[in-house]
Amino acid sequence: MTFALGEKFQGRYRIIRQIGSGGMSAVYEGVDERLKVTVAIKEIRALDEQVLRAFEREAQLLAQLNHPTLPRVSDYFTDSSHAFIVMQFIGGDDLGQILSHQAGPLPPTQVLPWAEQLLDALSYLHSKQIIHQDIKPQNLRLSRLGEIALVDFGLAQTDTPGQHPAEVTQSRGYTRLYAPLEQIRELSTSAQTDIYALGATLYHLLTAVKPPDALGRATAVADSKPDPLIPANEVHPQIGKDLAGVLQKAMALKASDRYSSAAEFREALRSSVREDLRQAEMTAETGSEPPHTPRLNRADLMKAIRRLRVEQKEALRDAISSTIEAEKAKRVRRSLAESLYGIAQPDGPIPSDEELKDDYIDYLAEKYS
């Protein structure tokens, strides 16, 4: 660690704690005592010319951006052996941490609103010819207010028309499981590179299964073997067939087979949700269960609720409270039931459920038992 806790530098920034590190860089939480705000300070320690240029490019790219899902840069400076970017501090955990603490996948009702925000951010970035090139759960941070943020632009590139591919492929350092084939092979990247990475990230969040390596997938297909990418609905029953199809297209091995833009990807996700709701409504009207939809019993349901984090319990309570009398409550309750089934772990510990009122538990249990 370069700085001692409480140390002040540049006459205005005071270090509170180190919140991340890797290789030659570190990230600190600090206070800008001039503006009286909490900031994140990213430091790089080795200043060879190539690394410094990349770091300066990251600062310059971020300084140009103005989007609620992207961190804002307020300062950039160097000294004899270090360089620093000062940016908006986003508290909370990254989605990699959240997923590692989950007993199963995250529910679509939670993931898909994040996907909407991220695809809006990608549309914004791509309109400025900026490719992030490192989308993964660890680079998606969830604030304490539940807002998602795309961070770490260390591999971002400006995709300038007419630029030679070699000038936009300095992307080593990416996480291979979320990288498309063209990035692994160090070919030219494009907006479809980010579309693949976000598709792979959503696949992981929705299934709790890491996506297969794109190069391994391509090798298998070239050898006339099945693609190791299993459709998401076959991995977990909470995912509808249409949503699974959207993820498959986003993760196509050939860039030309993916969505042509983030906007097209977003509309496909919206359409898949509408179709899944229509199927749920039809099922509710006929009284028949869709294939592979498990029924919950009271014990599993209560254990599922007890394993939720406090904020999830509160959100669940509020959702039920606001829809309990609505005509559309049938499909809302079905979605909640399927989500809770994926969280339920009957053999796990049962923490206190004081945050939930008994009448809500009884209400849910009655509807699902």
Q: What is the pLDDT of residue 188?
A: 87
| pLDDT tens-digit readout, 324-340 | 545 444 445 545 555 55
Quick: pLDDT tens for 160-188.
444 433 333 344 567 899 999 999 998 88
Confidence at 284, pLDDT banded by 50, 70, 90: low
Write down how long the chain is: 369
Distance of CA 35 to the CA centre of its chain: 31
pLDDT, tens digit (0-9, with 9 covering 90-100), for 261-280: 999 999 999 998 887 666 65
Alpha-carbon distance values, 90 to 69, 73, 218, 253, 367 (Å): 10, 12, 37, 33, 39
**Can you name the CATH fold of 8-88?**
Phosphorylase Kinase; domain 1 (3.30.200)
Kindly report the CATH class assigned to 95-283. Answer: mainly alpha
Q: Find, among 252, 251, 246, 294, the residue nearest to 273 by Cα.
A: 246
Strands 37-44 vs 25-32: parallel, antiparallel or unpaired: antiparallel
What's the predicted TM-score (pTM) here?
Answer: 0.71
Distance CA 314, CA 321 (A): 10
| Short-list 106, 90, 208, 103, CA closest to 142 | 90
Where are the domains positioned within the chain? 8-88, 95-283, 298-368
If we measure between CA atoms, which residue out of 344, 249, 247, 255 comes closest to residue 304? 344
Integer CA distances (angstroms), 184 to 166, 196, 216, in order: 14, 12, 11
The Cα–Cα gap between 86 and 74 comes to 6
Does 140 have pLDDT greater than 90? Answer: yes
* Among 129-133, 255-259, 268-272, the range of highest mean pLDDT: 255-259
